[in-house]
Structure 1
Amino acid sequence: MAVSVLVVDDSPMARKMLIRALPSDWEVTVTQASNGLEALSCYRQGGVDVMFLDLTMPGMDGYQVLETLRHEDLNCLVIVVSADIQDAAQARVRELGAIDFIKKPVDAMRIKAVLKEYGLLV
């Protein structure tokens, strides 16, 4: 059964690069969102298993998305993908429920390692 993946980033190029970095043998259906409000809309429609979430976006940033998901009883795994690699940012997203943090530009091997660590990829 395919895993439902939501890729959230305001940059179309960043979304494209992340999707290309996903393991080719991982059976997924990918949906994209360009901001936090779109991400929450997709999430609320159901069926999001894994969300790759950027932090810096206009309107509603990744932190606000995580806070909202937490209040709505988060039921998907969130992996933050950001260029903001400060320890404080990483600690904050984990406190808000993200399972991991991947720095930009994305590295296919790092994504694969995180997916394996959380049992999402064999």
Structure 2
Amino acid sequence: MARILVCDDSAFMRMMLKRQLIEDGHEIVGEAGDGKQAVQMYLQLRPDVTTMDITMPGMDGIQAVKHIHEEDPLARIIMVTALGQRAIITDALKAGASDFIIKPFEPQQVKATIDKILSEGVRE
């Protein structure tokens, strides 16, 4: 079981993702609706894994990942994006994201990605 922070500006997407993660046996420790809130909650809660939408108001997900990684280089963050654009995913991975999930996501894709990130342990 992992402690997970879910960050997405869509309440519906947060609900869908939370439901899936809880079904997979994980604990949701918090939710954020924008990048700035995501950074604050990450620093406060120190979750095992964070899911981060890329497109959010104010501070976007890539900026949030950069801020989180400045504070915690070992943070495990999975980008969740509807944008199938390689350049954006590449930017997210360069910023420090561990992996990504494309919306609309399949339950097995979410589970496999979370399991993979957790099994990798601490990243180098």
Q: TM-score range by the shorter chain?
A: 0.7 to 0.9
Matched letter for residue 71 of structure 2: E
- With normalisation by structure 2, the TM-score equals 0.86
1:3 matched to which residue of 2?
2
The answer to whether the 8 A contact 1:9-1:53 is kept is yes
Matched letter for residue 64 of structure 2: V
Map residues 1-122 of structure 1 onto 2, 5 A cutoff: 2-22=1-21, 24-119=23-118
Bigger share in helix: 2
The answer to whether the 8 A contact 1:5-1:49 is kept is yes
* 1:28–1:36 Cα change, 3 Å: same
Runs of 5+ unmatched residues, structure 2: 120-124
* 1:25–1:71 Cα change, 3 Å: closer
Rounded Cα–Cα distance in structure 1 between residues aligned with 2:43 and 2:29: 16
The answer to whether the 8 A contact 1:42-1:48 is kept is no
Aligned length in residues = 119
Rounded Cα–Cα distance in structure 1 between residues aligned with 2:77 and 2:3: 12
- With normalisation by structure 1, the TM-score equals 0.87
Report runs of 4+ in structure 1 exceeding 4 Å deviation.
none
The answer to whether the 8 A contact 1:5-1:51 is kept is yes
Runs of 5+ unmatched residues, structure 1: none
Q: CA deviation at 1:115?
A: 2.0
Matched letter for residue 11 of structure 1: S
Q: CA deviation at 1:30?
A: 3.3
- The SS at the match of 2:100 is strand
- The SS at the match of 2:23 is coil
Rounded Cα–Cα distance in structure 2 between residues aligned with 1:87 and 1:35: 22
Give the CA RMSD over aligned residues. 1.6
